Amino acid sequence: MADKYTPQTIEAKWQQRWDDDGLYRSRVDWSRPKHYALTMLPYPSGDLHIGHWFAMTPSDARARYMRMKGFNVMFPMGFDAFGLPAENAAVQRNIHPKTWTYANIERMRKQLRSMGAMFDWTREAISCEPSYYKWTEWFFKIFYENDLAYRGEALVNWSPTLQTVLANEQVIDGKDERTGQPVVQKLMTQWFFRYRHYADEMLDFSKMDWPEPVKIMQENWIGRSEGARIVFKTEAGDPIEVFTTRPDTVWGATFMVLAPEHPLVEKITTDAQRADIHAYVERVARETELERTAEDREKTGVFTGAFAVNPVNDARIPIWIADYVLVNYGTGAIMAVPSGDQRDFEFARKFGLEIIPVVQPDDQPLLDGATMEAAWDGAGTMINSGPLNGIRANGEKGRKNPSVDAAIDYIEEIMVGKEAVNYRLRDWLISRQRYWGSPIPMVHCEDGTMETVPDDQLPVVLPDDVEFMPTGRSPLTYYAPFLNTVDREGRPAKRETDTMDTFMCSSWYHLRYLSPKYAAAPFDPEEAAYWLPVDTYTGGAEHATMHLLYTRWFNKAIRDLGVFDDARTIAAAHGRSADGLFDEPMMQMRNQGQILGEEREGDVVVATGRADGAKLFADYVEVIDRDQAEAARQQKPDAIVGQIMKRTENLLQVDDGGDTLRTIEVVQGATVVIPSIPGANNVNQLRQHLDIQRMSKSKGNVVNPDELVAQYGADTVRAYLMFGFDWSKGGPWNSQQISGVVRWLNDIWEIGTAEPPTGAGDPEVEREIERRMHQTIAKVGEGMESFSFNTTIAALMAFRNDLKTAIRDDKLSERAWRAALHEMLLLMAPITPHIAEELWEQLGFAYSIHEQAWPVYDADKAKSEMTTLVIMKNGKPVGHVEVPVDIEAEAAQEAALASDAAKRFLNGDKPKKVVFVPGRNGMEPKVNIVV
RNA sequence: GCCGGAGUGGCGAAAUGGCAGACGCGAUUGACUCAAAAUCAAUUGUCCGCAAGGGCGUGUGGGUUCGACUCCCACCUCCGGCACCA
């Protein structure tokens, strides 16, 4: 009898062996095709969780598959190590962010190794290492020197109490989550990158194999719109520029709206309106952008008292401010056309402003501004619009619309505006008023000018010996040894204290992986010439617009600054066309879903004590069986009996079957009885109900992969994650269903370690196994190509079933048995690398299975001679007949009409129509009889 | 609110417009066992029926088609993102 399958032993053994042999060391080899597989790098938050496994192990399986397909594969890993949580740890637990981060990295490295993934650890990159952020700073510098970085103003979440800028996640309902004090929006001078500079190029996805939804979301995020900029003037002569996609409706502009933060507001406001305007501006400062732009909200706004002149008809129109106009979109001001824009319409109705219809819809009574019920933005004919009257408005965007076309020509002719393109996309705000990020290599001189830090002084290093104040304010702003420096002339100067957005670090980490120790440049051009671009990038769809757009922008910016020039030359020297090679960072992109926490029932308790109103002060709480609840209710009518839906310390929210939850406070020294937990019990052991939701430590629903690996082994955990979910979707964790995968691998182990069969074999069964083998090769290959890991494993399990039956019935010769195992282990190798390697060795095949070629699919061997012809009545299956696989239409229709099933419902009548569907791609042929 | 996605047995899920539910979990019955676990065999969408067979079934309502989980329109619910969480 063979040994039992003990993954813990064999996995440790092979991981060590692969490591010793450098099996996954990826090296430039121009004689072989390359494949750069990349999975989003983790933030070192503490422990690896099951979500990391779900993201990484299928990506690893895919990378291993590509390797067996003959590619030279690079699959690196690293850490996105700057960020807010490290600073929170510093403030809350008095641990230095660096200490906290590196301790986490150390722990996570070990956990990552237990996956048995083919990570090439010699390429590990960590974004908070000075050798890494030196180049993050260097990139900032070249952006600055080439006018891609500039200083501008942007709103921040300002806590007047803490005198600190807060992250969006630290602000809840307009208040600081820690102190509960109000937070206001405040303008601050900060650093930006010219994100819009590449807006048009980023709209071109023609070279990329990316998910359609991601492309659509990026398109919408960039939000390109064509129209015109038109300059209105106040009565005092101050110009107010607006952007509009509908310059044809300018005759219908009956008022203007400025963003409350618009610089002109203070100047034009009349004394009579000043108090109202100030109050409104202050109120808007407390609103989030999401609130401001929500279209279902009641419109608010205040009249400034000032008037503007409509440049096309000299109409005197009032200027208002309102929160639905954003200072950072367009020009921060709009011409309001209430007859054509629903938001303007609602605003006009609420404040009694004039409405002039300018587009008359077809076949409808003439619109009247006084009685219109909604704005009309569809097609029609121009009215009330001077020279545009009678022109068609066809509802299309830009110049394709005759009325827009004519309007642009007209306003350009009379010189009040110009054709223009606007983007929803805003420039990239990279400033963070924080400590734990890459410093910005700029110096503020005494005379108010700025200069860059010279290259030979990079990186500007984050000081270690700083103290953190409980306010969360960045120590860089008050730590003198960092703050005080000199400029290039040696005069006293101050360092820039903002640090960079961590998206900056993650925009180029795939380049640092190429050569993490390279000192002369951000990456070794030889490595870049060979490995770039990334061939397959995998990660969560939650990064669709932000990270993925930033990294595309970054790539284009550094390409234009010549950063890839050396790599381009080297690629060309190796006969590789460099045309467009560096235009996009990642050619193929695929998303995985999220693993959510498992649903769990809470304990059912019987609680007795002193009732006080609706609340119960319990001195006795006992956990009982779920099905005993009814009996307990009858036995103890004074008690609260029900499931614990929520527990916060000693406060329980219990569902007793009534409409609302009951609150129970378990008093100090109360008796708590939990039969399933031996010994004395306390209130903290009571389990609350858990919904299906994202895993987080505070919810207590985190699944720890370490425990699963210790119990089942890495191969089983890998295979379960790939088998149990649709990878692109994810879903709630289920701890029960893993047993199917456990059984699968136990079966494989038993088959692989059994004594070879001694029988002569049954040629028919052996042929059938060969057929199934090749069908499996096809399915596994297709699954790997399309990231459908669950169907891949389903096919392997189905083959296991066939193989098991054949072996049980003693129908296989030793030769057929070995051939089947040989191919099957190769197909399993990417998914379950350890058990495949172990059995491969035990069967006497040459080390390493991971260096073998992928099995070749043979269509002839996969083919069967006979197949089932499905007979349908009006599209519903009613019977079958056996026919040759390559049956032609005529023969199939004849066979179908002659079948018992057809005779039964036809009753000798003639069918209305007969449709033959030939069998394709392993599907049965069908004949549909229409009656 | 806006943008994107999803909704299929008791559960995880599968299905280039062509037999809905492959592959698993669970459950039920039987075998082995003193017994349990493990394992093995069989059944398992649902309703009617002893059966043969038939009706109904992919969130809801409509449509296109010989044929719709799949395509189109409207709606409902849930999930992701919304620019300082990463």
Domain boundaries, chain A: 32-128+503-596, 142-207+428-501, 224-423, 604-689, 707-861, 864-930
- How does the average pLDDT of chain A come out, rounded? 91
Is the CB of residue A46 inside 7 Å of nucleic acid strand B? no
Helix, strand, coil percentages for chain A (3-state, nearest 5): 40, 25, 40
CATH assignment of A707-861, given 3.50.50.60, 3.40.50.2000, 3.40.1010.10, 1.10.730.10? 1.10.730.10
DSSP category for residue A474: -
CA A807 – C1' B40 distance (Å)?
14
- Supply A59's token pair: 């990506």
| Average of per-residue pLDDT across A74-101 | 94
C1’ B38 / CA A62, Å? 34
Lowest mean pLDDT among A19-23, A296-300, A556-560: A296-300
Fold of the domain spanning A224-423: Isoleucyl-tRNA Synthetase; domain 2 (3.90.740)
Task: Lay out the sheet containing A428-429: strands in order across.
Answer: A164-166, A149-159, A184-193, A428-429
The pLDDT-based confidence of A687 (bands split at 50, 70, 90) is confident
Nucleotide closest in space to A190 (CA vs C1'): B84
CB of A104 lies under 7 Å from some atom of strand B: no
User: With contact defined as beta carbons under 8 Å apart, do A335 and A253 qualify?
Assistant: yes
Q: Which residue has the higher pLDDT, A867 or A77?
A: A77
Residues 603-632 of A with CB under 7 A from strand B: none
Q: Is A824 exposed, middle or buried (0-12, 13-18, 19+ CB in 10 A)?
A: buried
Does the CB of A295 fall within 7 Å of any strand B atom? yes
Give me the architecture of the A142-207+428-501 domain, per CATH: Beta Complex (2.170)
Note the CATH number of domain A864-930. Answer: 3.10.20.590
| Å: A753 CA to B20 C1' | 39
Q: Are A640 and A656 in contact (CB under 8 A)?
A: yes
- Considering only CA atoms, give the Rg of chain A: 35
Mean pLDDT, range A19-47, rounded to an integer = 95
Contact yes or no for A161/A176 (Cβ under 8 A): yes
Q: Which nucleotides in chain B have some atom under 7 angstroms from a protein Cβ?
A: 1-6, 11-16, 18-20, 22-26, 39-41, 54, 66-68, 79-86
Distance CA A880, CA A867 (A): 10
Using the CB atom, is residue A747 less than 7 Å from strand B? yes
A872 touches strand B (CB under 7 A): yes
The tokens 């406060």 sit on which residue? A651
Query: Residue A873 is which amino acid?
Result: K
8 A C-beta contact, residue A127 and residue A82: yes
Quick check: A131 pLDDT over 70? yes
Helix (H) / strand (E) element for A617: namely: strand A615-624
- Whether A457 CB is under 7 Å from strand B: no
Q: In the predicted model, is pLDDT for residue A649 greater than 80?
A: no
Residue A786 above 60 pLDDT? yes
Tokens 């069986």, residue located: A625
Phi and psi torsions of A186, nearest 5°: -130, 140
**What's the pLDDT band for A1 if we cut at 50, 70, 90?**
very low
What share of chain A has pLDDT > 90, as a percent? Answer: 68
At A488-531, the pLDDT tens digits run 999 999 999 999 999 999 999 999 999 999 999 999 999 999 99
pLDDT digits (tens, 9 = 90+) for A318-330: 999 999 998 888 8
* A:187-216 Cβ neighbours of strand B under 7 Å: 188, 190, 195, 212-213, 216
Residue type (1 letter), A204: D
A445-464: average pLDDT: 95
Instruction: Report if CB A127 to strand B is under 7 Å.
Output: no
Residue A683 binned pLDDT confidence (cut-offs 50, 70, 90) = confident
Burial class (CB in 10 A: 0-12, 13-18, 19+), A698: exposed
User: Strand A640-648 and strand A499-500: pairing?
Assistant: unpaired
pLDDT at A600 over 80: no
Question: What mean pLDDT is predicted for residues A171-185?
Answer: 86
Kindly state the tokens that stand for A447: 């005379």
A915 residue type, one letter: V
CATH level 2 (architecture), domain A32-128+503-596: 3-Layer(aba) Sandwich (3.40)
- What whole-number distance in Å separates Cα of residue A343 and Cα of residue A334? 12
| H-run or E-run covering A98 | helix A97-113
Identify which of A84, A137, A404 has the alpha carbon closest to the alpha carbon of residue A244.
A404
ipTM over 0.85: yes
Q: pLDDT tens digit string along A344-369?
A: 999 999 999 999 999 998 888 899 98
Q: How many whole angstroms separate alpha carbon A164 and alpha carbon A659?
A: 44
Query: In chain A, what percentage of residues exceed pLDDT 70?
Result: 99
Task: Of A72-76, A144-148, A757-761, give the lowest mean pLDDT range.
Answer: A757-761
Q: Which 683-742 positions of A have CB less than 7 A from strand B?
A: 693-694, 723-726, 729-732, 734, 736-737, 739-741
pLDDT confidence of residue A41: 95
Using the structure, give the distance in angstroms from the CA atom of A573 to the C1' atom of B6, rounded to a whole number: 48
Residue A645 CA to nucleotide B27 C1', Å? 28
